Amino acid sequence: MVAAHTDRLRELALEHGPLTVCVCDPSDALLPARARAELAAACRDVERVVIGEAALAGFERVIDERPGDAERRAALMRHVQTRNA
């Protein structure tokens, strides 16, 4: 999780209130799901963290941030590669 992630969580919380974050498990994850869940739980705008899409079944409204997360992850990877080039 980088500053862009927490900035986005802040934007969402300002619009929707305290957040429940679902940590999905993509095949190319940089960290295990539990570690990502702990990072998300440390954010001030996150009220609850669940792991796995099945945990979303009881939620009325879901905002899918996976495309944005993929973009933020790609930006992080580009930054690391540029700094290490």
Q: Number of folded domains in the chain? A: 1
Determine the Cα–Cα distance for residues 9 and 23; give it in Å rounded to an integer: 13
Express each pLDDT in 10-31 by its tens digit. Answer: 999 999 999 999 999 887 888 8
DSSP letters along 25-55, please? --TT-SS-HHHHHHHHHTSTTEEEEEESGGG
Determine the Cα–Cα distance for residues 56 and 77; give it in Å rounded to an integer: 29
Q: Reduced to 3 states, what is the DSSP secondary structure of residue 59?
A: coil
Q: What is the pTM of this model?
A: 0.80
Domain that holds residue 7: 3-83
Contact call for residues 55 and 37 (beta carbons, < 8 A): no
As to burial, measured by CB atoms within 10 angstroms (0-12 exposed, 13-18 middle, 19+ buried), residue 65 is middle
Q: Which of 15-19, 21-25, 46-50, 55-59 has the lowest mean pLDDT?
A: 55-59
